[in-house]
Structure 1
Amino acid sequence: MTTLERAKLWLSDTFDKETRDAVQLLIDSNSPDLEDSFYKELEFGTGGMRGIMGVGINRLNKYTLGQATQGLANYMLSQFKGEDIKVAIAYDVRNNSREFGKLVADVLTANGIKVLLFKDHRPTPELSFTVRDKKCHGGIVLTASHNPPEYNGYKVYWNDGAQIVPPHDEAIINEVYSVKFEDIKFDGNDHLIEWIGEEQDDVYIDACIENSIYQDVGKENLNIVFTSIHGTTYTTIPKALKKAGFKKIDLVKEQMIPSGNFPTVDSPNPEEPAALEMAMDLAKITNADIVIGTDPDGDRLGIAIRNLEGEIQLLNGNQTNTILTYYILNEWRKQGKITGKEFIGSTIVTSDIFFDIAQKFGVDCKVGLTGFKWIGKMIRDFEGKEKFICGGEESFGFMTGDFVRDKDSCGSILLACEIAAWCKANGKTMYQYLIEIYQETGMYYEGLINLVRKGKEGAEEIQEMMKNFRENPPKELAGSLVEEIKDFKEQTNFTVSKNERTIMNDIPKSNVLIYYTQDGTKVCVRPSGTEPKIKFYISVKESIHSETDFRDTLKSLEQKIEDVRRDLKLN
């Protein structure tokens, strides 16, 4: 079927007049958007879907959301027969999120499913917490995380508060794709909706404090700057910080106003220094010790601290998680809570420093595919056998304890501020604390390179690039021979020097390649699951013996990253 033929199907009476008119306009104007809107179905992946808002099968709209929710309802009705099914729904600040949240609620209630619907914007981790706290059968959050303003998305959670994983994910996907648009039940029953609001914030915040605070040292002397970057955490973070005992909190007021247009930034992504520029400017005025920003749905956090020159510098996700993980494990050890049956969680694209930290403290480091849902799965798989302590991934996500089963900026921010206050009380900065950790583990340094390839042609180009990296792997990177090639799509581990290929079946299949060189350099290549990008995660390592060695070691590692970039022809 051609793109035009697919588009014309949306001119039938199944679709409302507003939708039909918009599709007709695309056809009549021969808009370039017609091809991208209808050349394929918007993928409902293993965690949900994310896409540009608009009409068409490759866009997020009333009908693609309705199809996804009807499929989910069908699956839940088959899984929980005879039960009064209950689903929690939250939404972020994005354009149309509030309307999408009510639409999704209507489809569920039209199918006889009770809904707990937040009255206003709420962070994703609060939704994850609420699923378990309210004993729901599942949860949905309307968000596109840190994507540009034209995007929105839909994430599904199961009854453990974690995003869906096997076997439920594939089964739900099959149900979704079996739903025809004319089969969607849109006429909701408001009597099945229970509205929730600030009272749930307090329960969530109390849980964050209970699970993330270890000691009360110097909190009154820590100068904090916080920005929600127009996102949802304006509802939770300032309140949580005050309740935890922090006194000096300055807010970037212009960015505390929720807005799906994110008017003060090009991208609401705390991974990018530009997103925290206003917060850093305020930090210069207030002489802040720590700057913190969150993404629109409040699960990711960016932390900036004063470096050895006294300037505010954004940490990367691995650096932030290194500090948080080391501190937590040290506290657990001091409290005698480590028995050898504990673990931390990480992902295949995250720094290998977490293996070193876990070994130092006598706990296990379990690794899963990219995405926090796999850490959530670890918790569920080992519940009652091993105790989960904390987990993180390089993309600015971390969680403390298992009360939330997704990355959680609130608990992580409380912990980070405690560490900053403790460091200040002991006459050092968090940056110096990080360097002390490196002296024990070796200094790891990472670089992330994103190549954006939009549209149908871009998707095909990314496929071809992955094919080439798979069939023609590099022999050498930054002057060190490639020794090991892990292919998670083929589930093989090839040791070059031995010409030996072994099977890896402990992690599900995924289109990811990892190269390890003889000197410990690690390069991971994977297409993004949520954006039109192919990503290259580069990690390098050297020994460091004192703080005075730091600058020279950093310079050497930065050069090695550039050498890898050159060898992969990514310049």
Structure 2
Amino acid sequence: MDQEIKAKVDQWLEGSYDQDTKNEIKRLLQDNPTEAADSFYKELEFGTGGLRGIMGVGTNRMNKYTIGMATQGLANYLKKTVGGQEMKAAIAYDSRNNSDYFAEVTAKVFAANGIKVYLFDSLRPTPELSFAIRHLGCHTGVVLTASHNPKEYNGYKAYWADGGQLVPPHDKNVITEVQQIHSIEDVKWEGNEDLIEKISKEVDEPYLEMLEGNAISPETIKAEKDLKIVFTSIHGTGIVMVPEILKRLGFENVHVVEEQKEPNGNFPTVVYPNPEEAEALSIALKQAKELDADILLGTDPDADRVGIAIKNHKGEWVLLNGNQTAALLFNYVIENRKAEGLAKDNDFVCKTIVTTDLIDEFAKQQGMACYNVLTGFKFIAEVIKEKEGKENFIIGGEESYGYLVGDAVRDKDAVASAAMICEMAAHAKHQGKSLFDQLIDIYVKYGFYKEKLISITKKGMSGAEEIATMMKELRANPPASINGSELLEVRDYQSGIAKNIKTGEETAIDLPKSNVLQFFTADGSKISARPSGTEPKIKFYFSVNAKLDNKADFDKVDADLNDRIEGIIADMKLR
């Protein structure tokens, strides 16, 4: 074993760590030395979103000690920024193994530092934690979740007083404070536990009332109360709130998938608890077909993302991607707020730079501002905060199945989204249409935009280097054309410069620096390259578009656009 790794192992074996931890380290050293080395070869990095990693013993794992040290760093920053007044924090957790235990550890460290803690008494969706921070006047918040990662993982997401995840300058400042915690001896583990208050209904009720208030057309829901809905929480927190809000809105024909109803951190019925994956929704889809349902919805373990399935124009069940759902949702909210007399002159929407540009078209034609931000919902939350009191946020979203309706929450909210999606489906049905009919209508009116995402995983310690080399090569040698279409513009978000290839003119990109490249071609194609911040993979996003003159041409244009995307992928040698 590397001497540096061995020194870390010895520190844990000889230090004031609990005996169970030491026994597990000894077992790993004997039975699986490779795993032992991986558990200690580096520190689990506290990034701008917090912590995320495999659970286990060691410096590179999610455990009591890495979480305690992160919390101490966050507490130290809180004391420096808001000390002198009562400091308050809210904590929630999802259905993952150890999430409740990690939440207790977090609460105790906060309390030991003199911080008042509001701890949910049982699992809750991540968006309700965001709501609770603002509702209770907290300065920070933490949710224990690894979102849609496999069962071996857990995570620690930190929030600030606005209910959004950490953004500059707080993100870097908190990271700096966490990095100053070099030992578990630097952590205040016990004391002041009377500062920990358990919460439940006192936040649940205001949250649900807020969601009810989001409804644009309650009368339509009343008229289509028998809309046949199938819902799966995929063993996560969605079960706590989604059926309840649908019931309160008046939907009376909701079918919960029983096999996936029980919260369970082992996610026994799926390989991967991610509604982006068809396999995760396969049980629900079978039930939807048997019931001849109108719509199927599935939320991820912490209920901040939602996937849907509907019947297409041929009567076949299809899973919509995040861009298609976003297009339907944004269009519904924008058009029906106008129809119901709810629209304001200063309404705006917000999305990420890799989410469908169809939304920009909606906004342009409706005379409404659409702000584009970097990938990560915290940047949408930041725009909401900046515009508060000046402009009126109505909806935001990103292609990775995350959407937000209204500004009471400052993170993606699958509970609010599920409610609005069902209202949207009821509205379509009331007009004698399906949601897929609505999608085709949107394409005819605004243009047919088609998107695809592929992820290339590079595992092991060399993976990050391979990804860095790919990005370096794309920057140094951008293609002159892609799939036969001339390259017109390159946007490099790391340098902050957009370059016109024909004229050589360079303009500044008014967004924070980020390791993202975008290529725009003469035929309207857009290709984005972005290494993941949480996993050893690089993501490529493809967007193409064409005119759709009428519904009858849908299949032909759809096939043509798909061929264009596959042509781009082949030309860029990404397969």
Aligned-pair CA distance for 1:142? 0.2
Secondary structure, counterpart of 1:399 in structure 2:
strand
Which letter does structure 1 place at the counterpart of 2:278? P
CA RMSD of aligned residues (A): 1.4
The match for 2:290 is 285
**2-side partners of 1:498 and 1:26: how far apart?**
60
Q: 1:205 aligned to 185, 204, 208, which one?
A: 208
Q: How does 1:179-328 map to 2 (within 5 A)?
A: 179-181=181-183, 182-217=185-220, 218-328=223-333
Partner Cα distance (1:428, 1:395) in 2: 26
Give the residue type in structure 2 aligned to 1:103.
Answer: V
How many angstroms apart in 1 are the aligned matches of 2:224 and 2:87? Answer: 43
- 1:529 is the counterpart of 2:533: yes
What code does the residue aligned with 1:273 have? A
Find the counterpart in structure 2 of residue 79 from structure 1: 81
Secondary structure of the equivalent of 1:447? strand
Q: Are the equivalent residues in 2 in contact too, given 1:91–1:97 (CA < 8 A)? A: yes
Which AA in structure 1 matches 2:65? Y
Corresponding letter in the other structure for 1:332: R
Number of the residue aligned with 1:134: 136
Aligned to 2:166, which of 154, 164, 167?
Answer: 164
Equivalent residue of 2:502, what SS? coil
1:15 and 2:20 are equivalent in the alignment: no
Tell me the alpha carbon deviations over residues 92-145 of structure 1, each in whole angstroms, 9 at most, x when there is no partner.
000110100000001000101111101111100010111111111111000000
Deviation for aligned residue 1:164: 1.1
1:559 equivalent in structure 2: 563
CA shift at 1:188, angstroms?
Answer: 4.0
Cα separation, partners in 2 of 1:475 and 1:9, compared to 1, 3 Å: farther
Does residue 89 (structure 1) correspond to residue 91 (structure 2)? The answer is yes
Q: Distance in 1 between matches of 2:100 and 2:552?
A: 52
Output aligned runs, 1:456-471, within 5 Å. Answer: 456-471=461-476
CA contact (8 A) 2:216 2:336 kept: no
SS of alignment partner, residue 219 of structure 2: coil
Query: Following TM superposition, by how much is the alpha carbon of 1:542 offset from its aligned partner in structure 2, in angstroms?
Result: 0.8
- Match of residue 34, structure 2, among 13, 32, 35: 32
Query: Percent identity, aligned pairs only?
Result: 50
Letter in 2 for 1:413: A
| Offset of residue 476 of structure 1 | 1.9
Deviates more, 1:21-30 or 1:140-149: 21-30
The number of residues matched between the two structures is: 570
Report the alpha carbon displacement of residue 30 of structure 1 after superposing the two structures with TM. Answer: 5.7
Distance 1:40 1:13, change over 3 A: closer
Provide the secondary structure at the position in 2 that maps to 1:89.
strand
Shift of 1:56: 1.8
Distance of 2:486 and 2:85 partners within structure 1: 58
Please state if 1:486 is matched with 2:491.
yes
- In structure 2, give the amino acid aligned to 1:410: V
Deviations 1:171-201 (A, max 9, x none): 1010000012220111143211111124422
Contact 2:128/2:207 (CA < 8 Å) preserved in 1?
yes
When normalised by structure 1's length, the TM-score is 0.97
Q: Is the 1:131–1:161 contact (alpha carbons within 8 Å) kept by the matching residues of 2? A: yes
8 A contact 1:487–1:513 mirrored in 2: yes
How many Å apart are 1:418 and its aligned residue? 0.9
Match of 2:105 in 1: 103
CA gap of 1:90–1:278, structure 2 versus 1, over 3 A, is same
Distance 1:266 1:474 in 2: 38
18-27 or 219-228, which deviates more:
18-27
Residue 332 of structure 1, CA deviation: 2.3
> Tell me, what secondary structure is at the counterpart of 1:456?
coil
Q: Which residue of 2 aligns with 1:401?
A: 406
- 1:387 equivalent in structure 2: 392
Query: Which range moved further: 19-28 or 472-481?
Result: 19-28
Task: Give the AA of the match of 1:2.
Answer: E
Q: Give TM-score, length-normalised by structure 2.
A: 0.97
- 1:376-408: CA deviation from partner (whole Å, max 9, x where unpaired): 000111111111111000000101110111101
Partner of residue 431, structure 1 = 436
